[in-house]
Amino acid sequence: MKTTNPSRVSEQLARLISTVKEDRNGAPSEYLEDVEDRPVDGFAVAVCTTDGVAVSEGETQQAFALQSVSKALTYAVALQERGMDAVLERVGVEPSGMAFNELSLHSDGRPYNPLINVGAIMTHGLIPGNDEDARLELLLDRYSQLAGTDLTISEDVWDAETARAHQNLGLAHMLAASQMLPDEAHEVVRGYLGQCSVEVTVEQLATMGATLASGGVNPVTGRRVLAEWVCQQVMSVMLSCGMYNASGQWMAEVGIPAKSGVSGALLGAVPGALGIASWSPRLDEQGTSVRGIGVFEALSADWDLHVLRHR
């Protein structure tokens, strides 16, 4: 960052929001139709440095579901709890080039990566715990440590997702058919949709990004949550696979390890520097927040954040 002066950063974010807010392209995800109080044109942005300085602008008090952003966090927890080899045995690290909910498996039956639905369902199944409740409890605890605040699940979102789970159940049954899933397909999907329904504010999400960016120590609480190698692995996969079938373009144009969710959430982590989070529900064809892309493109350019930039 060119400046660590919080009031200057605040002004920059407010200016950015007022420019990007003009963009009314895209439409919110269908699941929101069942969720009360859906602010389709809400917009908020936050950054949190690896020194623990957080700045946010816009509708910063609005809570929203993590949705697919949770896939990166659960991947981190699975690596931390099970180790690299055990996780790689079940899920790969190759971009699939396909939409988030497609079935794309290696010839040995492993999902291509943990950030598409089939890989995320597999990864959820790797979380230690004998049942849905135990796995979710562990995930909520780790997500809360990453954010530095106690987080909860939105029952409304969870119900809305469960009512439309056919595709995810189909993916889980394919995994179960090849003995890849350690548990009953319905339970794993229900748990996976529970992790998608955990709610955060932009500042909590940016703190999660800052924890990844600082090698696993939450810079606000000072508590170690993840090992450094876990953060490196998670950010690598976020950079190569975080935007589904737009990941190559994202890597070239924005160059920040990131993960999107259909709630309009977008999480980024710039190693050694900061976490970035945005929320705005209008989505493009890949299911990524249109204004979120605008925010990340602008910050990457203005603050020279592309991780492969010549320095």
Q: Is 143 annotated as a binding residue?
A: no
| Alpha carbon distance 301, 255 (integer Å) | 10
Q: In terms of CB distance, is 42 or 271 closer to ligand GLN?
A: 42
Q: Does 174 bind ligand GLN (CB under 6 A)?
A: no
The binder of ligand GLN chosen from 191, 215, 261, 264 (CB under 6 A): 261
Count CB neighbours of 304 within 10 A.
12
Q: In terms of CB distance, is 204 or 289 closer to ligand GLN?
A: 289
- What are 281's two structure tokens? 């529900």
| Alpha carbon distance 202, 306 (integer Å) | 21
Count CB neighbours of 140 within 10 A.
17
The binder of ligand GLN chosen from 262, 269, 274, 295 (CB under 6 A): 262
Q: Does 67 bind ligand GLN (CB under 6 A)?
A: yes
Q: Which residue is nearest to ligand GLN (CB)?
A: 68
Do the beta carbons of residue 103 and residue 175 sit within 8 Å? no
Distance of closest approach, residue 265 Cβ to ligand GLN, in angstroms: 8
What is the pattern of x (binds ligand GLN, CB under 6 A) and - over residues 183-212?
Answer: ----------x--x----------------
Do the beta carbons of residue 55 and residue 13 sit within 8 Å? yes
Q: Is 18 annotated as a binding residue?
A: no
Q: Is 68 annotated as a binding residue?
A: yes
Q: Is 262 annotated as a binding residue?
A: yes
Q: Is 130 annotated as a binding residue?
A: no
- What are 141's two structure tokens? 């605890």
Q: Does 77 bind ligand GLN (CB under 6 A)?
A: no
Residue in this structure with the two tokens 């190698």, named with its chain if needed: 229
| Alpha carbon distance 206, 221 (integer Å) | 14
Beta-bridged to residue 48, according to DSSP, are 54, 275
Which stretches of the chain bind ligand GLN, using CB under 6 A?
Answer: 67-68, 100-101, 117, 161, 168, 193, 196, 261-262, 287
